[in-house]
Amino acid sequence: MTRYFLDTAPLVGVTFLHDLWRDEAERLFETDNSLYTSRAVIYEYCNRTSNNSLESTEVSWGSCEGLFGEKFSNIRVTQTNLDIKLRSYGDEELDIETLVDEFVSVTGIEEEVYPQRLIRDIIRPNIREFLQREIGGQTVTQKVARRAIDVLCDTIMHDALETRDRLQNRVTWGPSNSWSEGERNRRLGFVNGYRDKMILCDAAHQRNRNLIEKLVTADKSHMYENRGRIDTVLGLPVVYIKDEFAEPDLPSGD
């Protein structure tokens, strides 16, 4: 059994059906591995706003801000906008693939995920599978389509709230590092972002206390690409979620 420190991406991935890291995050959480995180990660996950800071905020699992709040609010708006948009379709214009197209378009996923093939290979299949299961053998009329999309959005929001509440029982909130900002910058000057440095130092602190063995991230540009230097400086192995938890017998890809 491995003890993992979780960056923000696995938490968001397991929370939202339409997230890029959904499949790998679910496989991670279905294991018996011990999972840890820190205050800085929980702040990013569900507490951060444009008006607060990590230092000044009372961080909790129960907040609806941060990345959680952004994705949750997006689905709520998407639900309304899709219902309006689907009213403009005739029954003969609708099929499941059209619904998948509209969901991806209205949520803005196409503007957030690169390369685009990741949407095709990962996100679209999850949405398609849900809609196929929900619609079953019915003809995709406007009424059926609107109801299916409504159920999809309701399910995403309901499951997100339930998952966020369950995370505090599945993931241990470990201790944070006590380094000064100057010390973090001196050691990790090659890592961009104050919060990334804080998260890495928290994970290293927990590894030094023998709580965790590896950090799991989806941040390929800052954390994973610098994994060699991070391990040298902090003694912290960094693994990429798609490599560590790819579906068995399938290549992990980028």
Examine the domain organization and report whether 163 and 176 are in the same domain. Answer: no
Of 35-49, 55-69, 104-118, 170-184, the one with minimum mean pLDDT is 104-118
Would 251 be classed as within a structural domain?
no
User: Does residue 249 carry a pLDDT above 50?
Assistant: no
Examine the domain organization and report whether 55 and 82 are in the same domain. Answer: no
**pLDDT of 44:** 98
The DSSP element (H or E) to which 29 belongs, if any, is helix 22-29
Examine the domain organization and report whether 186 and 150 are in the same domain. Answer: no
Examine the domain organization and report whether 145 and 217 are in the same domain. Answer: no
Task: Grade residue 119 by pLDDT with cuts at 50, 70 and 90.
Answer: very high
Domain stop point among 134, 168, 202 = 168
Residue 184: which CATH number? 3.40.50.1010
Would 85 be classed as within a structural domain?
yes
List the beta strands (DSSP E) in 168-248. 171-173, 214-217, 238-240
Domain stop point among 122, 153, 168 = 168
Examine the domain organization and report whether 190 and 231 are in the same domain. Answer: yes
The 10 Å CB-count burial string (b at 16+, else e) for 161-193 is eebbeebeeebbbbebbebeeeebeebbeebee
What is the tally of structural domains in the chain?
A: 2
pLDDT, mean over the chain: 94
Examine the domain organization and report whether 44 and 31 are in the same domain. Answer: yes
Examine the domain organization and report whether 40 and 20 are in the same domain. Answer: yes
Residues contacting residue 172 through CB under 8 Å, at least 6 positions apart: 34, 35, 36, 37, 211
Radius of gyration, alpha carbons of the chain: 20
Across residues 140-160, what is the average pLDDT? 98
Burial status of residue 50 (CB atoms within 10 A of its CB: 0-12, 13-18, 19 or more): exposed
Of 59-68, 163-172, 242-251, the one with minimum mean pLDDT is 242-251
Q: Which domain holds residue 43?
A: 3-62+170-244
Residue 20's closest CA among 132, 114, 161? 114
Across residues 18-44, what is the average pLDDT? 96
CA distance 84 to 252: 38
Q: In what order do the strands lie in the sheet with 238-240?
A: 171-173, 34-37, 3-6, 214-217, 238-240
Residues contacting residue 13 through CB under 8 Å, at least 6 positions apart: 19, 20, 21, 22, 24, 25, 26, 218, 241
**pLDDT of 89:** 97
Q: Which residues pair with residue 173 across a beta bridge?
A: 37
**pLDDT of 64:** 97
